[in-house]
Chain A
């Protein structure tokens, strides 16, 4: 798999989980509700969307309720399967919201810690039901008949190779360029010395990893027996150098965010473009480099290349994320959002001022759950197969971690935090290739140890997360007086 394909699939995951995280942020960040059962609405959204879209009798191994077949119901109209799927998604969101009301009405008045544990319990029970009751949605066997909207239409492209490259390749480069520009803006306040030290530290770190990887390929390493040889020593020295330079850089600047941005951008560039660049320079190999640069363009799709379904689906989910982001922003930047935050700070105050806080909390729960439901519908279409194990409680906990890393009550922070989380959790998966396969589980566990520790460290040193709580501004449209 080319790096670009991995990149696309990682981005799609981040997008879907960001949508999920936005829903959590509505509940947790803006309203202060600890819903440890958030994943239940993700699951319900996924299952209901699939169920409503799924035509009957597609498969003999499916023994659950007969699907409603909405995906084929509008077959007459152009794009009818998309329409049917969208309706299914809306129903999935509504189902998630409805279940959240049923859960919320008895539990939402409870103390915050009681709410957390009851929500966790209810989600666990719901998962057990989906797992055990085959008549419902095929139980543990899951559903394979997942409708993927518009998948028949792809890949798309014009007949001309050049035109396709222009059409899809240009935006790809433009987006990368824009990302570089934004990163540069973040990095700018950094003065020269710490910037150089940071660069050095990052390069040394990368070098050390590269050294370990390249010398270890094909070598059976036994954890616990670390052989001391020249390569290891070089890698170790580089690592120490990296730590020393990194510490120096950190102590010399107040712009820690800028420093981190610089390091991440460097690491990304090295990872994403370094390897193809080496291949290009040493062997004149251009394929990977082009593929990575023109990441929206898939040369192998169709006769003249074009946009394949995976890439389309990423853009599709991105559109949902942008829509949800604007929707949540509109909600919190309003007197309504003000009441939600007041509920978070001290429920008795808005209550004493005449705001029916119970209603606000229920609505917040519904809204957040509906967003989780939308994420679930997209998740199902992306994976193409769902079963209850995909919706374990850990998914909720990951989302909490992501939200807290990025910044609780900050919608951009949610997206940033989700990206950071999944880069740590999945982006480092390519490292697995360099270890014997029997260590895959260990490596996965190691990542989660890292994430758990990161969660605690962030809560201690920077409880407001990377970005901190967002600013609020209620837009009054034309003639709206500024707040000051």
Chain B
């Protein structure tokens, strides 16, 4: 197991129980720069882990540090403002708003989002909004949802919703993005495009923690893989090492691999 020297995300002793079920049981995880894969069987607790880290759920025990600051128990908005955002595994589009508005909502630090600015409209207001519009349009084009920009988000197809979810998170321009199966249900050409974009963004200094069940995608994309099983980290390391780990094969990959 390789040790991460300068973790961006540092989780220690995390626990989360639902009634009698232990979804996360004393989990330690350190995630460094670059693209890290997070794999594990269904129900391993990956999504719950995301929820606890980003503040959507309050962990029962443990400590979460991000970029050297303690974010344990902070509200999701505060965590996002620190630069850590996540996608939802089941996309949450805002159905009665247009795709365009869904996208324009995302960028952080818009001056027009403050009540005083919305009323008084200083100089920044228009500039910010123009910037937001451009970015949203650019992102829509990249993810090939630009032809539905003016449709209500509630009318999108399942795959388009996934793309919208991803687009919104990318638009927040955070330091680290937690991706919860962003490729499930996305067509292969677009899948490659998204992976390329993720690499692009990585070279610009973004970090990713990436849940994905397709082991080949993980092998190609990630520098490091963490395997979760029954609410704990089973092992972590280079993709090739992890793939040949007996426990991983038994718990997740199955005999035939």
A–B contact with Cβ pairs below 8 Å: the answer is yes
Q: Which residues of A contact B (CB under 8 A)?
A: 327, 330-331, 334-339, 341-342, 344-346, 348-358, 363, 367, 469, 472, 474, 476-477, 479-481, 483-484
Least Cβ distance of B66 to chain A in Å?
A: 13
B76 neighbours in A (Cβ, 8 Å): 348, 351-352
Interface centre among A354, A357, A367 (most CB of B within 10 A): A354
Q: Check A354/B94 contact, CB under 8 A, given A335-B118, A335-B132, A336-B113.
A: no
Is A354's CB under 8 angstroms from B77's CB? yes
- What are 17 A-B residue pairs whose CB atoms fall within 8 Å in the complex? A327-B119, A330-B118, A334-B118, A334-B121, A335-B118, A341-B94, A341-B97, A352-B54, A352-B86, A353-B77, A353-B85, A353-B172, A354-B81, A363-B115, A469-B96, A476-B130, A477-B126
With A336-B112, A352-B86 as given contacts, are A331 and B119 in contact (CB-CB < 8 Å)?
yes
B78 within 8 A of A: yes
**Which one of A339, A476, A481 has the highest number of Cβ atoms from chain B below 10 Å of its Cβ?**
A476
Q: Smallest Cβ distance from B134 to chain A, in angstroms?
A: 9
Q: Which of B93-120 contact A (CB under 8 A)?
A: 94-97, 100-101, 104-106, 108, 110-115, 117-119
Does B223 interact with chain A (Cβ within 8 Å)?
Answer: no
| B contact face: mostly helix, strand, loop, or mixed | helix
Contacts of A481 in B (CB 8 A): 130, 133
Is B56 in the interface zone, CB < 8 Å from A? yes
Q: How far in angstroms is the closest Cβ of chain A from B40? A: 22
CB distance from B23 to the nearest CB of A (A): 18
Task: Give chain B residues whose Cβ lies under 8 Å from the Cβ of A479.
Answer: 126
**Which residues of B are found within 8 Å of A338, using beta-carbon distances?**
97, 101, 104-105, 113
Q: CB-CB < 8 A to B105: which residues of A?
A: 335, 338-339, 342, 349-350, 353, 355
Q: How far does the alpha carbon of A348 sit from the alpha carbon of B92 in the complex, in Å?
A: 9
B217-250: CB near A (< 8 Å → 1, else 0) gives 0000000000000000000000000000000000
Interchain CB contact under 8 A, B126 and A341: no
Q: Is B75 an interface residue (CB 8 A)?
A: yes
Q: B residues within 8 A CB of A354?
A: 77, 80-81, 85, 108, 172
Number of A-B contacts (CB under 8 A): 113
The 4 A-B residue pairs with the shortest CB-CB distance in the complex, in nearest-first order: A354-B80, A335-B112, A336-B118, A334-B118
Does B168 have its Cβ within 8 Å of any Cβ on chain A? yes
Additional A-B contacts beyond A335-B110, A338-B97 (14; CB < 8 A): A334-B118, A336-B113, A341-B97, A345-B96, A350-B77, A352-B88, A353-B169, A354-B80, A354-B81, A354-B172, A472-B101, A474-B112, A477-B126, A479-B126
Residues of A within 8 A of B85 (CB): 352-354
How many angstroms between the C-alpha atoms of A342 and B23 in the bound complex?
30
Q: Is B214's beta carbon under 8 Å from chain A?
A: no
Most A CB within 10 A of own CB, among B77, B119, B126, B169? B77
Could you tell me if B77 and A351 are in contact, using CB atoms closer than 8 angstroms?
A: yes
Distance (Å) between the CB of B92 and the closest chain A CB? 5
* Closest chain B residue, CB of each to CB of A480: B126
Are B97 and A351 touching (Cβ within 8 A)? no
B168 and A335 contact, CB distance less than 8 A: no
Contacting A at CB under 8 A, from B105-154, are 105-106, 108, 110-115, 117-119, 121, 125-126, 128-130, 132-133, 150
> Measured between alpha carbons, how far is A472 from B104 in the docked complex, in Å?
13
Determine how close the nearest CB of chain A comes to the CB of B217; give it in whole angstroms: 24
CA distance A339 to B172 in the complex (A): 14
Chain A residue contacts of B115, Cβ below 8 A: 331, 336, 363, 367
- Bound-complex Cα distance A350 to B78 (A): 11
Contacts of A337 in B (CB 8 A): 118
Cα–Cα, bound, A334→B120 (Å): 11
Residues of B within 8 A of A344 (CB): 96
The reply to whether B94 and A349 contact each other, CB–CB distance below 8 Å, is yes
- Minimum distance in angstroms from B148 CB to a CB of chain A: 13
A347: min CB distance to chain B, Å: 10
**Nearest CB of A to B84, in Å:** 10
Decide if A346 touches B92 in the complex (CB within 8 Å): yes
Partner of A335, one of B96, B104, B150: B104
Residue on B nearest A336 in the bound complex, by CB: B118
Q: Residues 195-213 of chain B: 1 if any A CB is under 8 Å from the residue's CB, otherwise 0?
A: 0000000000000000000
Residues of chain B with a CB closer than 8 A to A352's CB:
54, 56, 76-77, 80, 85-86, 88
The closest CB in chain B to the CB of A356 belongs to B77
CB neighbours (8 Å) of B119 from chain A are 327, 330-331
In Å, the complex CA distance between A456 and B125 comes to: 42
Min C-beta distance of A366 to chain B, whole Å: 9
Please, which residue of chain B has its CB at the minimum distance from the CB of A474?
B129
Q: Which of A345, A349, A352 has the most CB of B within 10 A?
A: A352
A107 to chain B, nearest CB (A): 17
Which residues of B lie under 8 Å from residue A472 when comparing CB positions? 101
Closest-by-CB residue of A relative to B86 is A352
CB nearest to B112 among chain A residues: A335
Please measure, in the bound complex, the distance between the C-alpha atom of A476 and the C-alpha atom of B122, giving whole angstroms.
11
Of residues 69 to 91 in B, which have CB atoms within 8 Å of A's CB atoms?
A: 75-78, 80-81, 85-86, 88
